[in-house]
């Protein structure tokens, strides 16, 4: 397969690059020499048969349209909302992603964010480091055990979060596009009703046009001044301007966010709030999980070019 040209528009995990380089003819578009080659020799662009992207940058219509012989877009991540899947479908281009292997990692982080927010672990750390502990004990915090956890999106990650929360004796409820007949958890027919009936609202749903800003002011008001929001889904699920207002005005008790609307840009007012925990989109960011994701990308490409069924087809 060394003669098959594969393009990476952005750098990702070094292991993935190494594996692609050893199996295919890899072009790194962020390399100046590669960019010059593409600009001066249309035959190179015409040779590209596969593109490997991450779920943050994706592949828009413009990128897809540059490569007339593109056959497959392999996403190094589970989310494909940044990939123009409609254009891919129109052109007969296959799309794959890396579900399942990052489920546990994302669910672990969601629980970690809950604990960090309720027990104010980040603030406690700074309290000790700054020497303030010598002048008095830290203020009381809030327990996690026994709380009601509402989950928006009871898919792979949502179910994994629920399983972990049960170990803390939490009551679980959820909202999703449809009722899950096999689920023992209570279903709420709207996000507002879900927020009204939980202490902790966890966003773990995939992003679509319908779910953009699904966490709006009404939902935040329903969650209330003692409720907290945890987002391990996508940044665009949350109306960030409304979130800032709700936190500053005390209409929402707190928020822990791993994803943002315009990453890596984060609303400046959040930086000064102690009832907020912020992480840089690290839901799958462990060596073990990123390696497993890379292996799936490679396996999908090899399967496709050998004429075998794709391991994790999205389209």
Catalytic residues: 234, 263, 281
Return the structure tokens found at 280. 């840089």
Residue 277 contacts residue 251 (beta carbons within 8 Å): no
Q: What DSSP element (H or E) covers 171?
A: strand 171-175
Distance, CA of 190 to CA of 281 (rounded, Å): 27
**Residue 270 exposure: Cα atoms within 13 Å on the Cβ side:** 18
Q: Comparing C-alpha atoms, which of 132, 157, 113, 154 is closest to residue 254? A: 113
For the chain, state the CA radius of gyration: 22
| Residue of 177, 243, 188 lying closest to 210 (CA atoms) | 177
Instruction: Give the total residue count for the chain.
Output: 315
């Amino acid at each position: 397969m060394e003669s098959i040209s594969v393009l990476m528009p952005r750098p990702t995990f070094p292991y993935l690059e190494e594996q692609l380089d050893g199996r295919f003819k890899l072009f790194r578009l962020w390399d100046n020499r590669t960019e010059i080659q593409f600009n001066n020799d249309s035959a190179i662009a015409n040779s590209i048969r596969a593109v490997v992207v991450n779920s943050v940058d994706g592949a828009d219509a413009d990128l897809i349209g540059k490569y007339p012989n593109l056959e497959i877009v392999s996403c190094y991540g589970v989310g494909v909302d940044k990939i123009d899947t409609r254009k891919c479908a129109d052109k007969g281009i296959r799309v794959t992603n890396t579900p399942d292997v990052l489920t546990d990692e994302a669910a672990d982080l969601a629980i970690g964010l809950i604990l960090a927010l309720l027990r104010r672990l980040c603030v406690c750390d700074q309290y000790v480091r700054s020497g303030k502990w010598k002048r008095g004990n830290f203020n009381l915090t809030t327990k996690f055990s026994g709380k009601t956890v509402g989950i928006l999106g009871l898919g792979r990650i949502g179910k994994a979060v629920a399983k972990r929360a049960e170990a803390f004796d939490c009551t679980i409820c959820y909202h999703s596009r449809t009722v899950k007949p096999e689920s023992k958890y209570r279903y709420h027919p709207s996000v507002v009703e879900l927020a009204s009936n939980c202490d902790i609202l966890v966003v773990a749903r995939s992003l679509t046009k319908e779910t953009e800003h699904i966490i709006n002011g009404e939902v935040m008001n329903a969650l209330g001044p003692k409720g907290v929001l945890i987002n391990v889904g996508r940044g665009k699920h949350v109306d960030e301007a409304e979130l800032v207002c709700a936190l500053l005005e005390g209409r929402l008790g707190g928020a822990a966010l791993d994803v943002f609307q315009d990453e890596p840009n984060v609303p400046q007012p959040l930086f000064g709030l102690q009832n907020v925990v912020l992480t840089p989109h690290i839901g799958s960011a462990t060596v073990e999980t990123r390696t497993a994701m890379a292996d799936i990308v490679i396996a999908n490409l090899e399967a496709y070019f050998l004429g075998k069924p794709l391991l994790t087809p999205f389209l």
